[in-house]
Structure 1
Amino acid sequence: MKGEPLALEHTLPSYGGRCLTEVMPGILVGVPSELIDDAVANAPTVVLFVVDGLGWHQLRRHRTLAPTLAAASDASAPVTTVAPSTTATALTSLTTGATPGEHGLVGYRVPTEMGLLNTLRWRAGGQDARVAVPAAEMQPVMPFCGRPAAVVTRAEFRHSGFTAAHLRGGAIWGWSDANGLVESVRDAVGKRYPLVLAYYDNLDKIAHAFGIGAEYRSVLAEVEQLSCALRDVLPRGVPLVVTADHGVVEVLDPPIIVDPDIVALTSGWSGEARMLWLHARLGAAADLLDACERYQSAAEIAPLSRVLEERWLGRHVTEPARGRLGDVVLVPRALQAFTMPDEDVPRHPLIGRHGGLTAEEMLVPFLVL
């Protein structure tokens, strides 16, 4: 499997089919779904183990490191995440069952009156935005279909703005290490919640910092061990479902800096390196689209009208969500990224990236152990 080529074809979300948006309605409400089999639908409690950054292709390519998960993938097919294939958008679609166009967290960075909101850190203009940008107004869809749920996540995430946006209503069980995660899941299952969601982010962190190399492979082996440990502590009749928010690509070349003459046609930008939205100055949308054609060999260049027509963000896009989108989006075709001249440069360049529409980023596992 190591020699298989990267899957860089353009892949759109399968909303209404094999997509993360179908998980919560299928498990908690009983909405018919090709994802949810009878054993899961009829279980009194389901444990959903969400591994940030565990892409379908990465799992299949490194199957010897995760034999239990890989064996489960042999009996299943991948599901799609949402667009953009980024954590804040995808996790919110997973927990709410809503498309990005419905819940409104349409990217890693979205424009607000305070400036660009970093949706993971819930900061804008260098400040904590939890008061100025209320999570329930920014993301109005109730998570977990309004049903009881336990959430096992890092203890430090308990009071974050993003937690309020995509996990509100859930009972938070904090963990600080892998053993604590397993113990918290076991204890939460004992409370008979219909859903226990456990979230693990180490794989994504390592991919960002080191790419898909030795460090990534080491953590993937840990994910295998953690999945088996979770399976082994669960009572009979409680299924363990393993899934993810997105996959990862390795970007080794420096980001493409958007040219100054294109920046001059914009009033701002949003999104992320692999799905960058450019917001046109008043009356300059057509000129901006034309100017961006210089990047056509490196990126898919789409006006907002095409994104809406092709339903990248779902069938319905609310007015607030639409107002957070730009006029032109740049989506790298291959292993590249975009950046704006005024963007804060991370202290250490990111190697593992996601947010785009390649199959490497868009396809994730949905495995029942």
Structure 2
Amino acid sequence: MEGGPLALDRTLPSYDDRCVTAVVPALLAGVEASLVSDAVAAARTVVLLVIDGLGWHQLRRHRSLAPSLAAASDETPPITTVAPTTTATALTSLATGAAPGEHGLIGYRIATPVGLLNALRWRAGGRDARVELPPEELQPVEPFCGQPVAVVTRSEFRHSGFTAAHLRGSSFWGWHDVPGIVAAVRQAVDEGCRLVFAYYDTLDKVAHEFGLGDRYRSALTEAEGLAVALRAEMPADIPLIVTADHGVVEVLEPPVMIDPEVAALTDGWSGEARLLWLHARTGAESELVSACERYGGFAEIAPVARVLDEQWLGRHVSVAARGRLGDVALVPRGLRAFTMPDEDRPHHALIGRHGGLTAEEMLVPFAQM
């Protein structure tokens, strides 16, 4: 299937055994999940390749560019990621097996006592926040069920706060290029690691900057080449599982600036362009919700009570995670995005976006090659 209409229907996370939260518990803790076969569960080593930004719909739409990935994806239905459909939240859920309401990294930018935390860079107020916001305290769930895992990711991520938050306790294998990924994975397999967690982020980075055009298609071809090379390099009895943290949509219109009258009712914001949390001034919660109705023609206006009732963040939300949520979430239904007057300008130029609740963003492959 090449082309076809976009899947922009509202899709919530499943948080069952067909969700990214089920992957690591099934592979490492023996938790029964329909997505993991008995053969995979019994394998001495499993390689889990996480391709950042590889949505199930985008893969099917461009199957001629990634025929091996697409064919493997055809064998099983897609799984859901988490809400918001963003890297910091979804990778943490994938590594910990916990929903966002449990692990507490509830978005790309998180409201904290020391300012708005950029979770990927672990910076707040323009400075490194690892001392003021210790990663193991902000995200208390032990990654990988407390078991040793080989993590193959970009070398520059080794000492980041986000790495400490979602990958701590693992052995770190850094890479600089695609051949380096293949070599590191093969070495980790040869050393007998039970799980090798390989992370490839180029596809997502290209989509953000260039959209889903020619550069994206080239990056998808490269991701296909990586998967094929990994499969060829490893013994046949080592399962190679491919999944992703979220899909991507292309937003060509400038982001919608929150009106000054609405912003005046807030004392902050958090989240991302496609799931923006507004934090109300004390006593202005109802007024803020009402003021946001002006965006109802193209966005869902979700008070925090509805978000919790519909379990966007999972069945259980910790006290800490609840304290980081705003009072109303704005979620575009179509190909739109939001911004605030004080948001960093580089974010306005992004073309590939995620974070929202469309099937394009929510559904990801879970494929065995």
Scaled by the length of structure 2, the TM-score of the pair is 0.99
Which secondary structure state, in structure 1, belongs to the residue aligned with residue 110 of structure 2?
strand
Q: Is the 8 A contact 1:95 1:144 kept in 2?
A: yes
**d(CA) in 1 for partners of 2:195, 2:300:** 39
Give deviations 1:10-34, integer Å, cap 9, x for gaps: 0000101310000011000110001
Partner of 1:264: 264
Partner of 2:148: 148
Shift of 1:216: 0.3
**d(CA) in 2 for partners of 1:306, 1:153:** 37
Alignment map for 1:349-364 (pairs within 5 Å): 349-364=349-364
Fraction of identical pairs, as percent: 69
Partner of 1:82: 82
Q: Is the 8 A contact 1:59 1:70 kept in 2?
A: yes
Alignment map for 1:147-186 (pairs within 5 Å): 147-186=147-186
Shift of 1:342: 1.2
Q: Is the 8 A contact 1:209 1:348 kept in 2?
A: no
Partner of 2:5: 5
Q: Is the 8 A contact 2:2 2:64 kept in 1?
A: no
Partner of 2:19: 19
Partner of 1:301: 301
Alignment map for 1:273-352 (pairs within 5 Å): 273-346=273-346, 349-352=349-352
**d(CA) in 2 for partners of 1:191, 1:137:** 32
Amino acid in structure 2 at the alignment position of 1:294: R
Partner of 1:93: 93
Q: Closer, same or farther in 2 for the Cα pair 1:237/1:3, shift >3 Å?
A: closer
Amino acid in structure 2 at the alignment position of 1:126: G
Q: Is the 8 A contact 1:298 1:334 kept in 2?
A: yes
Which secondary structure state, in structure 2, belongs to the residue aligned with residue 185 of structure 1?
helix
**d(CA) in 2 for partners of 1:234, 1:134:** 38
Q: Closer, same or farther in 2 for the Cα pair 1:171/1:133, shift >3 Å?
A: same
Shift of 1:298: 1.1
**d(CA) in 1 for partners of 2:348, 2:326:** 28
**d(CA) in 1 for partners of 2:27, 2:299:** 37
- Of 292-301 and 343-352, deviating more is 343-352
Partner of 1:241: 241
Shift of 1:348: 7.0
Shift of 1:317: 0.1
Q: Closer, same or farther in 2 for the Cα pair 1:187/1:86, shift >3 Å?
A: same
**d(CA) in 1 for partners of 2:27, 2:58:** 26
Amino acid in structure 1 at the alignment position of 2:321: A
Say whether 1:66 aligns with 2:66.
Answer: yes
Which secondary structure state, in structure 2, belongs to the residue aligned with residue 346 of structure 1?
helix
Give deviations 1:232-257, integer Å, cap 9, x for gaps: 11123110000000000000000000
Shift of 1:2: 3.1
Q: Is the 8 A contact 1:50 1:197 kept in 2?
A: yes
Say whether 1:116 aligns with 2:140.
Answer: no
Shift of 1:75: 1.2
Partner of 1:218: 218
Which secondary structure state, in structure 1, belongs to the residue aligned with residue 346 of structure 2?
coil
Q: Closer, same or farther in 2 for the Cα pair 1:3/1:181, shift >3 Å?
A: closer
**d(CA) in 1 for partners of 2:292, 2:2:** 36
- Of 250-259 and 340-349, deviating more is 340-349
Q: Is the 8 A contact 2:254 2:348 kept in 1?
A: no
Give deviations 1:142-197, integer Å, cap 9, x for gaps: 00000110000000000000000000011000000110110000001111111000
Give deviations 1:310-342, integer Å, cap 9, x for gaps: 000000000000000000000000000000011
Partner of 1:129: 129
**d(CA) in 2 for partners of 1:184, 1:352:** 29
Partner of 2:367: 367
Unaligned runs of at least 5 residues, structure 1: none
Partner of 2:205: 205
Q: Is the 8 A contact 1:135 1:164 kept in 2?
A: yes
Shift of 1:3: 3.2
**d(CA) in 1 for partners of 2:311, 2:332:** 19
Q: Is the 8 A contact 2:49 2:197 kept in 1?
A: yes
Which secondary structure state, in structure 1, belongs to the residue aligned with residue 345 of structure 2?
coil
Partner of 1:106: 106
Partner of 1:187: 187
Say whether 1:32 aligns with 2:38.
Answer: no
Aligned alpha-carbon RMSD (Å)? 0.8
**d(CA) in 2 for partners of 1:115, 1:304:** 20
Q: Is the 8 A contact 2:2 2:63 kept in 1?
A: no
Amino acid in structure 2 at the alignment position of 1:21: T
**d(CA) in 1 for partners of 2:224, 2:319:** 42
Scaled by the length of structure 1, the TM-score of the pair is 0.99
Shift of 1:89: 0.1
Partner of 2:138: 138
